[in-house]
Chains A and B, each alone.
Chain A
């Protein structure tokens, strides 16, 4: 089987030739370790533009965002091929650079109202969420008009070019999924408003929150359709619905306020024959039925350090969801020994693999993950993941 066949078979809840291997991303510092540093870093570009255009650098850099993002994800896919992953994700984030007086940080804003600081990860852009700005009804009205109008048209064109560039060299060597990582519906809504205002609206005006989710869902679905026009078949919705000890909201509120929005996206993808999974780290176990009911084909992360028990999840939803994840990124993929990494992968395959519908995957990703440990994860998957499993 090739990578595409392997992943699609797992997503169809069947046994491929072996358990596939995936990560949601490889951070740019690690891409540099795998491929070698590029001649010009992201921050070299920033410095150059600021020198050449001190008064209009933010606008000029914003015009370059498409190129930067395509380059970043293209290199990420190159690195994924190099180390032997079966699947990697790409996805543009709708950002633009901003200048704020007396604030020397390199700042970007996104169309959902979030402010980010672009930190320097060994020369590479690394965005950190700072705060949300969409905290009045008037601001929402403006944002809604923009997203339902010119922004959808703009980004539908943008993502076609972005996707073509991101997968150009490697589309036959790896299966490339599309994600709205950092731009998922729930995180865009809650972070865009700031958690305080979002929480207040959930309590006082839930219809408003439902509307926001559905507007963002339609935007996402429209972009996913553009990606599908370019051949994309597999999507990963960025959820981040839970934290260390449980879901951010009650399952009942997720059903009421977010399920219709997710269904809008999953139906659109399924209508065109695609597959879509939900990424959400944290303790997601109370939301497993929600994930199924939203129409997702799978669930990614399965974060062990948040107490997610793969055996419990497999038993509860393993016949309805493809399970992807369970390799920890706080120790196993950071500073564990080879033996520990191998043990973690063996456990994951033994527990999640029987009957198919399982993909070994890092629960999340960050710049501190060790490339060597990542390679061990892939090696162990290939060594122990052949079907029929032998445990």
Chain B
């Protein structure tokens, strides 16, 4: 299994074939898991490019994200076992309390994984205290929140205030996304940054992490 093939499987959204391909690369061919990750990342980068060029749309992004997830089921233990002393930037992702939308969050999660971040996915309908506790526990320096309902955007402010009260806000960058939001509203709610979609989000998070 060569690296080009792995990259192609991501680009072509081959969700049913990727796990076996990664397994073959690692176990049969003895490839370095970090080189496998690079090949997959290259694929996701191309997916992002096709999305920006309007060749791929949301359904392709969702499937690409799922393909990456399938790849990571096999790859993650191999990366952990490789035990390189690379400290990964930890990013907490969550949909805010009261909101059960997760498509954008899940796509972002896959893009973050493929870009070498450590992703702590808290799921949907997550209250502020859970986020604060997870920041304390993990030392995450970026919190990415999704709010797709007008009624729930105020939860972003709740998270911002909760992080402040816990003395953590200074050490965390807060980035948000979702249909009712824009940069102006995001800043008003206490966020540091806003992204229109997951593809923009990964670019912004890479900048925030530097």
Contact = CB atoms under 8 A, between A and B. Distances in A.
Interface of A: 117, 128-130, 195-196, 198-200, 202-203, 243-250, 253, 282, 286, 305-306, 329-330, 334, 366-368
A247 B13 CA distance: 19
Contacts of B59: 195, 198-199, 202-203, 248-249, 253
Contacts of B103: 195
Contact of B179 (A195, A244, A286, A334): A244
5 contacts: A195-B103, A200-B63, A200-B66, A253-B57, A305-B179
- 9 nearest CB pairs, A to B: A199-B59, A199-B62, A199-B63, A244-B179, A248-B58, A330-B180, A368-B151, A202-B59, A249-B59
B182 interface: yes
B15 interface: yes
Contact of A246 (B54, B62, B63): B54
A249 B62 CA distance: 11
Interface of B: 13, 15, 54-55, 57-60, 62-63, 66, 100, 103, 149-151, 178-180, 182, 196-197
Contacts of A202: 59
Contacts of B197: 244-245
A303 to B, nearest CB: 9
A249 B100 contact: no
Contacts of A368: 150-151
A305 B63 contact: no
Nearest to A303: B179
A247 B100 CA distance: 21
A329 B57 CA distance: 26
Given A195-B103, A200-B66, A330-B150, A306 B58 contact: no
A366 B149 contact: yes
B17 to A, nearest CB: 11
A282 B180 CA distance: 10
Nearest to B59: A199
A200 B15 contact: yes
A367 B152 CA distance: 11
A253 B100 CA distance: 27
A367 B103 CA distance: 23
B48 to A, nearest CB: 13
A247 B55 CA distance: 12
A244 B196 contact: yes
B47 to A, nearest CB: 12
Given A117-B100, A203-B60, A329-B150, 14 more contacts: A130-B100, A195-B59, A199-B58, A199-B59, A200-B63, A243-B179, A244-B197, A245-B197, A248-B58, A250-B55, A282-B179, A305-B182, A367-B151, A368-B150
A196 B59 CA distance: 8
A203 B13 contact: yes
Given A199-B63, A306-B179, A366 B150 contact: yes
Nearest to A330: B180
B58 A366 contact: no
A302 to B, nearest CB: 15
A283 to B, nearest CB: 10
B156 to A, nearest CB: 14
A246 B57 CA distance: 8
B136 to A, nearest CB: 28
A195 B60 CA distance: 11
Given A200-B63, A366-B149, A128 B100 contact: yes
A329 B150 CA distance: 8
B57 A250 contact: yes
Contacts of B15: 200
A299 B181 CA distance: 24
Contacts of B66: 196, 199-200
A129 B125 CA distance: 12
A341 to B, nearest CB: 16
B91 to A, nearest CB: 21
Given A200-B66, A248-B57, A129 B100 contact: yes
A317 B182 CA distance: 28
A196 B66 CA distance: 7
A267 to B, nearest CB: 27
B179 A199 contact: no
B43 to A, nearest CB: 15
Greatest chain A CB density within 10 A among B58, B66, B182, B196 is at B58
Nearest to B58: A248
B113 to A, nearest CB: 16
Contacts of B54: 246, 250, 286
B57 to A, nearest CB: 5
Contacts of A366: 149-151
Most buried by B among A130, A199, A282, A330: A199
A7 B178 CA distance: 33
B58 A249 contact: yes
Nearest to A198: B59
A107 to B, nearest CB: 12
A112 to B, nearest CB: 17
A243 B151 contact: no
Nearest to B197: A245
Contacts of B196: 244-245
A110 B59 CA distance: 23
Contacts of B179: 243-244, 282, 305-306
Nearest to A129: B100
B194 to A, nearest CB: 11
Contacts of B180: 305, 330
A305 B180 CA distance: 8
